[in-house]
Amino acid sequence: MGGWSGRGGNGDTERNWGGGKVKRMGEEERRWGRGGEREEDPIVRWWGPMGWGRGRGSYGLRSWRWGTVAVAVEGISWLNMAEREIGSPGSSMHGVTGKEQSFAFSAATDQTVPIDSTAQFALPVDSEHKATVFKIYSFANPHMRAFHLSWISFFTCFVSTFAAAPLVPIIRDNLNLTKRDIGNAGIASVSGSIFSRLVMGAACDLLGPRYGCAFLIMLSAPTVFCMSFVSSAGGYVAVRFMIGFSLATFVSCQFWMSTMFNGKIIGLVNGTAAGWGNMGGGATQLLMPLLYEGIRRAGAAPFTAWRIAFFVPGWMHVIMGLLVLGLGQDLPDGNLGTLQKKGDVPKDKFSKVLWYAITNYRTWIFVLLYGMSLGVELTTDNVIAEYFFDRFDLNLHTAGTIAATFGMANIVSRPAGGLMSDMAARRFGMRGRLWNLWILQTLGGVFCICLGRANTLPLAVTSMILFSIGAQAACGATFGIIPFISRRSLGVISGLTGAGGNFGSGLTQLLFFTSSKYSTATGLTLMGIMIVACTMPVALVHFPQWGSMFLPPSERWSEEYYYGKEWNKEEKERGLHQGSLKFAENSRSERGRRVVAVTTTPDSMPASA
Amino acid sequence: MAIQGSFVASILFSYLVAACYGATFSSLQNTLVVTASPHAGQVLKAGEDNITVTWSLNTTFPAGTDSDYKTVKVKLCYAPISQQDRAWRKTVDELKKDKTCLHKIVDKPYSPSTNTFTWTVQKDVPTAIYFIRAYVHNSADKEVAFGQTTDSHKATNLFEVQAISGRHVSLDIASVCFSAFSVVALFGFFFLEKRKAKASQKS
């Protein structure tokens, strides 16, 4: 009989979708590779004539397709990242929901997501009441509402952080700025969030993501309104620095998503939220010149009109803050303050988590790499409108429109990068992901060089669009690999990578767009060369169990051994590494089509004779 | 590659165009005598103070020099010190690309006798050091001659303009009000919810 047998609380829940066991796509590929062992394939059941709409199937189908993306792009939330299964070290909200579920560790590879059938939510939820499907067009409380609130808040902060960029031609005359001042302000705008993102993680743990987001967005609203007071270069730099703090909503956004959405789809959800938020950097290039034009035509002097235009992002901050407070909730079951249930989840030691993050050389390579994808994206958000205004003699409105297409490409290119990473992994495993990242990011660099060298407008616009697709897809592809670097320290590594992105932005602005030694065009060319050069270290990233760009995997290493290495003997004896072992098993999909029947004891490398 | 080919072709084409149509500053004759009311070092306030520009043909030139002069365009131009570290005001010989003189004062039809014009410094003129230059255009609207208030090195007889700040008291007040609202609303919500949580815990 189909239906759900039992729900959370004991270890033995299995979802029975009309009789078949539902597997992850990666699993499926593996099984098909094995000769003869053709188990009943639930996917065929789903997509077959009888499969559609079976039971609660219709949305399950979508979650399957996107589940493959989720396999790769799993989770970008900050400190909370380690939790994938409830009860594992570092679980969300310190076990606030109180619904613990223990999974007996087994060599079986099924990835059942037990659905809580008694829950009264608009979307199907798991035993933690996190949604297991992602319905973009829904605003249902609490899951999808939280999604829309958090990505729009993040979008708003991007709008206000880069709001000055398209107006620089006016601001530089009003405040008598030099190129150095403009460059310093650009650097300041991305530097502030390096620190605020670190603080935000702690704030989300203490206050919940709803208050973390609302606090940041409403306390940075005054900094946006402060633009009306600015009358010198120093003031301009200071205000842009303070507005830049608001980019930490990235952390609250991702954190909130991981309290609301199940680990199987968290990758897609987080990637979409991040990509759509980043779009704000593009939207602002369109919005601010439009506002400026309108206000100027209404009769204001140019040097006053741009100040008035800044009120709009400020109001957006306040409105989004109020909406988040009024409509949002921290957890599917309610708000943190009213739901103080404490579970006895063993929480991991931060010092250990930090140690395993910083001693893994891959972390630092990705810090550099993300600086060359997200970093250059932020830098370009800051300089591109002014570049088109000056180099091609366009008016502010047109320059802004062109610059906007750069940031707006994020709506598809970032998720697409993650998707391409998944597709490459299905065939070639982790090696495919690494090659995919290298190709995308290097192409981005090449088109950046073309953008700097382009002398005509059509060529420049084309190069810019191709550059944006390359860089943003590389961002998505980066977070398709990061979840596999470490299981224990994923949160810290994600945070460090994010900070590396901002740092890369500050560095490229400092090197290429602040001094008058070379023109902006030359700066773009040099930045492109730097991207190509600094993307080469991808070749150094080697996963012993999966290989790297040029080296094959070593047969002696298993996923269990790699992830088990992060725990010492004592911790293993206490069973703290169970989550890592489960993850290791699931990560076997990163072997690609190379199917290996593996039964390894978790604690040791399989001895080779 | 096709892109490189079209790249080279477009560069060649633009050079051709420049050679055919683009006038260069170095090819212009300094045939106008231009004077302006601000004396050297004077500071003018944008939006308030006036500049009176006077120009006429320099009679030392042979008759007939002005045979194709049609219009005179008088502009406010940046002195070299205000162009430092500001590539958007760069002086380039090709006049189409030259950004020295970005602020228009007046366009008037040419007449060899003395012309004057009084101009109120506009509100969008930035704080900088300036001089005044008048370009003479022929009937094809191409520059053929010029005159300026300073010497050929652009070092003498420069004056300063003090821009408006763009700030207004009303803007400042509005800014403070909205900021205060934001902070108060946030903490109000926070404490209200805390109190509600405490109340529901007690009951």
In 3-state terms, what secondary structure has residue B104? strand
Count of beta carbons in the 10 Å neighbourhood of residue B33: 17
Helix (H) or strand (E) holding A585: helix A578-586
The token pair that represents A261 in the structure block: 């959405």
Instruction: State whether B7 and A307 contact (CB < 8 Å).
Output: no
What was the pLDDT predicted at A521? Answer: 93
Instruction: Tell me the one-letter amino acid at A557.
Output: W
Chain B positions in Cβ-Cβ contact with residue A242 (cut-off 8 Å)? none
Instruction: State whether B167 and A519 contact (CB < 8 Å).
Output: no
Whether the pLDDT of residue A393 is over 50: the answer is yes
| Nearest residue in B to A516, CA atom | B85
The overall average pLDDT reported for chain A is 77
Mutate to test the interface with A, among B45, B86, B129 (most CBs of A within 10 A): B86
Shortest Cα distance, chain A CAs vs residue B79, angstroms:
14
Can you tell me the mean pLDDT for A24-29?
36
Interface confidence, given as ipTM, is 0.84
Q: Please state, in angstroms and rounded to a whole number, the distance separating the CA atoms of residues B141 and A497.
A: 57
Report the share of chain A in percent with pLDDT over 90: 41
> Between A592 and A317, whose confidence is greater?
A317
Q: Mind listing the pLDDT tens digit for each residue in B32-43? A: 999 999 999 999
How far, rounded to the nearest angstrom, does the alpha carbon of residue A365 sit from its chain's CA centroid? 18
Whether the pLDDT of residue A16 is over 90: the answer is no
Instruction: State whether B85 and A307 contact (CB < 8 Å).
Output: no
Give which of A431, A443, A492 is closest to A467, Cα–Cα.
A443
Please state whether beta strands B29-30 and B143-148 pair in parallel, antiparallel, or not at all (unpaired): parallel
Instruction: State whether A222 and B183 contact (CB < 8 Å).
Output: yes
Q: Is A274 left (phi over 0), alpha (psi -120 to 50) or beta?
A: alpha
pLDDT band at A330 (very low <50, low <70, confident <90, very high): confident
Task: Say which residue the tokens 């490229």 belong to.
Answer: A508
Q: Is the dihedral of CA A581, A586, A592, A593 positive or negative?
A: positive
Instruction: State whether B127 and A176 contact (CB < 8 Å).
Output: yes
Whether the pLDDT of residue A72 is over 70: the answer is no
Instruction: Tell me the one-letter amino acid at B23.
Output: A
Can you tell me the mean pLDDT for B143-149?
92
Q: Please state, in angstroms and rounded to a whole number, the distance separating the CA atoms of residues B87 and A516.
A: 8
Whether the pLDDT of residue A341 is over 70: the answer is no
What are the percentages of helix, strand and coil residues in chain A, rounded to 5? 65, 5, 30
Can you tell me the mean pLDDT for A123-131?
76
Whether the pLDDT of residue A607 is over 50: the answer is no
Whether the pLDDT of residue A31 is over 60: the answer is no
Can you tell me the mean pLDDT for B72-97?
92
Give which of A317, A289, A466, A492 is closest to A386, Cα–Cα.
A289
| Nearest residue in A to B201, CA atom | A338
Instruction: State whether A178 and B85 contact (CB < 8 Å).
Output: yes
Give which of B1, B64, B5, B54 is closest to B29, Cα–Cα.
B64
What was the pLDDT predicted at A482? Answer: 84
Instruction: State whether A318 and B166 contact (CB < 8 Å).
Output: no
The reply to whether omega before B112 is within 30° of 0 (cis) is no
- In angstroms, the first-to-last Cα distance of chain A is 47
Shortest Cα distance, chain B CAs vs residue A233, angstroms:
13
What was the pLDDT predicted at A82? Answer: 36
Q: Mind listing the pLDDT tens digit for each residue in B181-196? A: 999 999 999 999 888 8
Chain B positions in Cβ-Cβ contact with residue A303 (cut-off 8 Å)? 123-124, 163-166
Chain A positions in Cβ-Cβ contact with residue B182 (cut-off 8 Å)? 218-219, 221-222, 317-318, 321
Q: Please state, in angstroms and rounded to a whole number, the distance separating the CA atoms of residues A548 and B138.
A: 69
Chain A positions in Cβ-Cβ contact with residue B6 (cut-off 8 Å)? 459
Give which of A459, A435, A456, A433 is closest to A447, Cα–Cα.
A459
Give which of A452, A450, A447, A454 is closest to A469, Cα–Cα.
A447
Furthest-apart CA atoms within chain A: distance in Å: 85
What was the pLDDT predicted at B76? Answer: 94
Q: Please state, in angstroms and rounded to a whole number, the distance separating the CA atoms of residues A157 and A502.
A: 15
What was the pLDDT predicted at A5? Answer: 29
Chain A positions in Cβ-Cβ contact with residue B90 (cut-off 8 Å)? none
Q: Mind listing the pLDDT tens digit for each residue in A134-190? A: 788 888 888 899 999 999 999 999 999 999 999 999 999 999 999 999 999 999 999
C-alpha Rg value of chain B to the nearest Å: 27
Instruction: State whether B175 and A520 contact (CB < 8 Å).
Output: no
Chain B positions in Cβ-Cβ contact with residue A173 (cut-off 8 Å)? 124, 126, 163
What are the percentages of helix, strand and coil residues in chain B, rounded to 5? 30, 30, 40
Please state whether beta strands B159-162 and B128-137 pair in parallel, antiparallel, or not at all (unpaired): antiparallel
Report the share of chain A in percent with pLDDT over 70: 75
Q: Mind listing the pLDDT tens digit for each residue in A465-488? A: 999 999 999 998 888 888 888 877
Instruction: State whether B85 and A180 contact (CB < 8 Å).
Output: yes
> Between A204 and B122, whose confidence is greater?
B122
Q: Is A458 exposed, middle or buried (CB count within 10 Å of its CB: 0-12, 13-18, 19+)?
A: exposed
Can you tell me the mean pLDDT for A6-12?
32
Whether the pLDDT of residue A433 is over 60: the answer is yes
Q: Mind listing the pLDDT tens digit for each residue in B150-160? A: 998 999 999 99
* Angle of the A280-297 helix axis to the A266-278 helix axis, nearest 10: 30
Chain B positions in Cβ-Cβ contact with residue A325 (cut-off 8 Å)? 186, 189
Whether the pLDDT of residue A89 is over 50: the answer is no
Can you tell me the mean pLDDT for A583-595?
74
